[in-house]
Structure 1
Amino acid sequence: MPISVHPSVEELAALLRLPDFSEVYAQADRVRARHKGDVVQIRAILEFSNVCRRACRYCGLNCRNEKIARYRMEPDEMIEVAYAANQAGYRTIVLQSGEDPHYTPEILGEIIRKIKETGMAVTVSCGEMPREDYAYLRRCGADRYLLKHETADEQSYRALHPDGTLKERVECLRHLKALGFETGSGFMIGLPGQTMETIAKDLLLLKEIGCNMAGIGPFIPHPDTPLRDHPSGSTELTKRAVALARILLPKANLPATTSLGVLNNGEKNDVFSCGANVVMRKVTPDRYKQLYEIYPAKLSPTHVKEDRLELEEQIRALGRIPL
């Protein structure tokens, strides 16, 4: 069942509902092979602060969660971890945090400059900022920026994000794209009130913005949030959304998200056969790692070099090429 060049919400929703999705998976895998080859890009992710000013109702880092112990990494420590990741073979590091105003553009910019001396690409994921701050980070050498929109449904967005709007989020994404960032967004599967039409709108928003990256993962409830009793999102529906994203965005980088591995008993290999071409590995030091809990997950100790080698072996075992 081939997808039209400019699919409608109704067409994508109908595809998501198919009893047998195998033809779409096969098409997505062909598109991936043609545009991205058999390479799986391995990226280091450093979660440097779990302080956040936002009150997002699904996130364990939300500012109203008083049970979490907060932390901030020092710039020198962040740079040291990035250098270790580079020596272990990583070509990209993702600097991720809550929306923490402690890290001013000047502080982040200096960290980025130091890391860029290694030759690594730097992805930043620190939430919404004014356009001029994004522009400053770009001038400092930041290559990519990841800012998930989470849901393209305005009503759902308002319900989940009491201190922000979908319009503001999309405006930030457009600024990032205009400034020359490789721009990443994404969304969750399984949010309250979500329908196949909602997911279709999410996919079309990625295409409209022209995203270079898209992270699509299942919702996982956190016990210290208002959505603690909401069920987890479907791994099958997540993989269907990834496959459609690959077809709609042939050249985009699509990660096998950590949340998908959590719900799939650590197995992300299925998603590599339906369009994904990126995997991230945490390099966050152990004393902080468990505290960066957007959702609950069992995390093993961090061994930067050994973790990288283990992941390379797993990728080769799937017949892919680690990079």
Structure 2
Amino acid sequence: MTRDEILAYLKGKDDAGLFAGARAVRREIFGDEIYLRGIVEFTSFCRCRCNYCGLRAPNDEVFRYRLTEAEILDAVDELAALDLPTVVLQGGEDPHYDVAFIGRIVRSIKARHAIAVTLSLGERGPEAFSHWRECGADRYLLKMETLDESLYGTYRPGCDFQQRLAGVRTLQRLGYEAGSGIITGLPGMTLETLADDILAVTDLALDMISAGPFVPHPQTPFGAESPGDPQLALRTMAILRLLNPHANIPATSALETVREEGRKQGIDAGANVLMFSVTPASVRKNYAIYPGKNQETRTAAHTVQKARELIRSMGLSPSSSLGGSKVGKVGAP
């Protein structure tokens, strides 16, 4: 797909055809399976100053929390009991949790459960990435938000674009299933920027790719900006599916936040992954990277059950498999 073709689809050239094509590609590669993941958001502390994120270090209004080792493992036990085959350990870039602590958590999870472990802890350096891989971590998510270096500096002041991009490549070299992603509709992002982002993230040959709409947080410098168009996010997901047929692509929680039945529409646009927070209810709503995040007050068991019902209602199958990447696998369709 050329850049001009991508731009035409982003402008709404043929949503019905685009989404139908994305669904057909997903079915060819993944059959009827939709993979399920559980997320444990174990710290809301962050050293970064990202202008779009409610957890940014200068935000004095957000409630900060840190889970103990026992609390993290209890949440993982709950996840495993719900037959969720992957745990995503996610948090702000919080140096309070050192390399050894995270490694010990990963080893404990692997000893207790036959599940995949995904880490999403920001930039920690090659030595940390290598150690956690040796401890048994399977996957790592390191979001870029944009592949436009000048805009990256606007969105993530004080952060080094090339260093983060090198981190993605280090994860791939170490044998992780590596993931990244973009936010659509960020301030200053044009359709041309987004088209270039789609091509650039495709060039990375990632195992996991996410694309969700920008949701402004009032306690950030971007708080008064307009939210991203959810339809544009759906188009981006569908294009990414066509260009990256073997990648795992989630229907993000941001979609569900900004549009009713957003996750259903994400699946209709080619997504093959749903993710749910199993962070303890006492702190779950405080992982407020954007308004509306983690506001579900019912139990994780209820949320997962409703998601399985949704998947079945679409003629698809909620999978209990580990849902590993098919990128570059010998014999993959």
TM-score, with structure 2 as normaliser: 0.92
How far 1:102 sits from its partner (Å)? 0.8
Code of the aligned partner of 1:151 = T
Deviates more, 1:269-278 or 1:90-99: 269-278
CA contact (8 A) 1:283 1:302 kept: no
- Partner of 2:21 in structure 1? 27
Residue among 178, 181, 191 paired with 1:183: 178
Residue among 76, 79, 83 paired with 1:85: 79
Q: Measure, in 1, the Cα distance between the counterparts of 2:82 and 2:52.
A: 34
CA contact (8 A) 1:10 1:197 kept: no
Query: What is the CA RMSD across the aligned residues, in angstroms?
Result: 1.2
Q: Identity of paired residues, percent?
A: 39
How far 1:26 sits from its partner (Å)? 1.7
- Partner of 2:56 in structure 1? 62
Deviates more, 1:301-310 or 1:251-260: 301-310
Asked if 1:285 is matched to 2:280, the reply is yes
- Partner of 1:320 in structure 2? 316
SS at match of 1:199: helix
- Partner of 1:172 in structure 2? 167
Code of the aligned partner of 1:34 = E
Code of the aligned partner of 1:295 = Y
- Partner of 2:305 in structure 1? 309
Deviations 1:21-67 (A, max 9, x none): 32222211111110111111111011000000000000000000011
Q: Measure, in 2, the Cα distance between the counterparts of 1:221 and 1:304.
A: 26
- Partner of 2:103 in structure 1? 109
- Partner of 1:257 in structure 2? 252
How far 1:233 sits from its partner (Å)? 0.4
Code of the aligned partner of 2:171 = L
CA contact (8 A) 2:312 2:318 kept: yes
- Partner of 2:237 in structure 1? 242
Residue among 188, 200, 205 paired with 1:205: 200
Q: Measure, in 1, the Cα distance between the counterparts of 2:158 and 2:298.
A: 34
Runs of 4+ aligned structure 1 residues displaced above 3 Å come to: none
- Aligned length in residues: 317
CA contact (8 A) 2:139 2:179 kept: yes
Code of the aligned partner of 1:66 = D
Q: Measure, in 1, the Cα distance between the counterparts of 2:95 and 2:254.
A: 26
Q: Measure, in 1, the Cα distance between the counterparts of 2:298 and 2:177.
A: 28
SS at match of 1:297: coil
Q: Measure, in 2, the Cα distance between the counterparts of 1:178 and 1:47.
A: 26
How far 1:266 sits from its partner (Å)? 4.4
Q: Measure, in 2, the Cα distance between the counterparts of 1:138 and 1:302.
A: 34
Residue among 163, 177, 187 paired with 2:158: 163
Structure 2, gaps ≥5 residues long: 320-333
- Partner of 1:48 in structure 2? 42
Structure 1, gaps ≥5 residues long: none
TM-score, with structure 1 as normaliser: 0.95
- Partner of 1:125 in structure 2? 120
CA contact (8 A) 2:78 2:278 kept: no
Q: Measure, in 1, the Cα distance between the counterparts of 2:171 and 2:144.
A: 13
Q: Measure, in 1, the Cα distance between the counterparts of 2:132 and 2:298.
A: 28
CA contact (8 A) 1:48 1:72 kept: yes
CA contact (8 A) 1:282 1:302 kept: no
Q: Measure, in 1, the Cα distance between the counterparts of 2:158 and 2:309.
A: 43
